[in-house]
A and B are shown apart, each in its own frame.
Chain A
Amino acid sequence: MSANENKDQFRPENHENDHFLLTTVVGSYPKPKWLNRAKELYQDPDHGFDEDDYQEAKDDAARLITNEHERAGLDVVVDGEMRRNEMVEFFAHRIEGYEFNGPVKVWGHNYFDKPSVVSDVEYTDSWLVDEYEFTAAATDRPVKVPITGPYTLANWSFNEAYEDDDELTLALADLVNEEIEKLVDAGARYIQIDEPALATTPDDHAIVGEALEQIVADIPEEVRIGLHVCYGDYSRIYPEILEFPVDEFDLELANGDYEQLDVFKDPEFTADLALGVSDVHVAEVESVEQIEENIKKGLEIVPPEQLVVSPDCGVKLLPREVAYGKMANMVEAARNVEAELDEGTIDIERDTAAPADD
Chain B
Amino acid sequence: MENIKRRYSLAAPTMTEYVSTTPGLFPLPDWAKDDLSELKGHQKHDLISGDEDEEISSVYEQAREEVIETQQAAGLDRIVEGQLRWDDMLAHPLAVHDNVETRGIVRYYDNNNFYREPVVSGDLDVSGDVANELEAAAELTDDLQAVLPGPYSLADLATDEQYGDEAEFLGAIADFLAGEVDAFPDVETLFLLEPSLVENAPEDGADERASEAIDQVASATDADVVVQPYWGALEEKVYAHLLDADIDAVGFDFVANQDDNLYNIQEYGATGDVSLGLADGQNTLVEDPEAIRDRVDWVEEQLQVTEFETVYLTTNTETFYLPYAKYEEKLEVLAEAADLAEVTVA
Contacts and interface: CB of A to CB of B under 8 A. Distances in A.
Contact of B33 (A111, A158, A159, A201): A111
B302 interface: no
Interface string A203-227: 0000000000000000000000000
A148 interface: no
A111 B113 CA distance: 10
Interface in B299-346: 320-326
B153 to A, nearest CB: 18
B283 A158 contact: yes
Contacts of B320: 104-105
A104 B36 contact: no
A103 B33 contact: yes
Interface in A97-117: 101-111, 114, 116
Nearest to A160: B285
Given A102-B323, A104-B321, A114-B323, A156 B112 contact: yes
Given A108-B47, A108-B87, A109-B46, A200 B110 contact: yes
A254 to B, nearest CB: 16
B142 interface: no
Given A101-B325, A200-B107, A109 B42 contact: yes
Chain B: interface residue count, which band? 20 to 34
Given A200-B107, A200-B110, A104 B322 contact: yes
Contacts of A201: 110
Contacts of B87: 107-109
A95 B28 CA distance: 28
B285 A158 contact: yes
A116 B280 CA distance: 14
B42 A158 contact: no
B115 A107 contact: yes
B37 A106 contact: no
Interface string B109-149: 01111110000000000000000000000000000000000
A155 B283 CA distance: 12
Interface in B28-54: 28, 30, 33, 36-37, 40-44, 46-47
Contact of B46 (A102, A105, A108, A158): A108
Nearest to B32: A109
Chain A: interface residue count, which band? 20 to 34
Nearest to B38: A109
Contacts of B24: none
A237 to B, nearest CB: 14
Interface string A288-309: 0000000000000000000000
Contacts of B322: 104
B266 interface: no
Contacts of B285: 116, 158, 160
A197 interface: yes
Contacts of B47: 108
B105 interface: yes
A110 B110 contact: no
A101 B323 contact: yes
A103 B44 contact: no
Contact of B284 (A107, A155, A160, A200): A160
Contacts of B46: 108-109
Contacts of B325: 101-102
B27 interface: yes
B281 to A, nearest CB: 12
Contacts of B110: 200-201
B335 to A, nearest CB: 21
B44 A108 contact: yes
A41 to B, nearest CB: 19
20 contacts: A101-B284, A101-B326, A102-B326, A103-B30, A103-B33, A103-B323, A104-B322, A104-B323, A105-B113, A107-B87, A107-B114, A108-B40, A108-B44, A108-B46, A108-B87, A109-B42, A109-B87, A110-B42, A155-B112, A200-B107
Interface of A: 101-111, 114, 116, 155-156, 158-160, 197, 200-201
The 4 closest A-B pairs by CB, nearest first: A102-B323, A107-B114, A160-B285, A101-B323
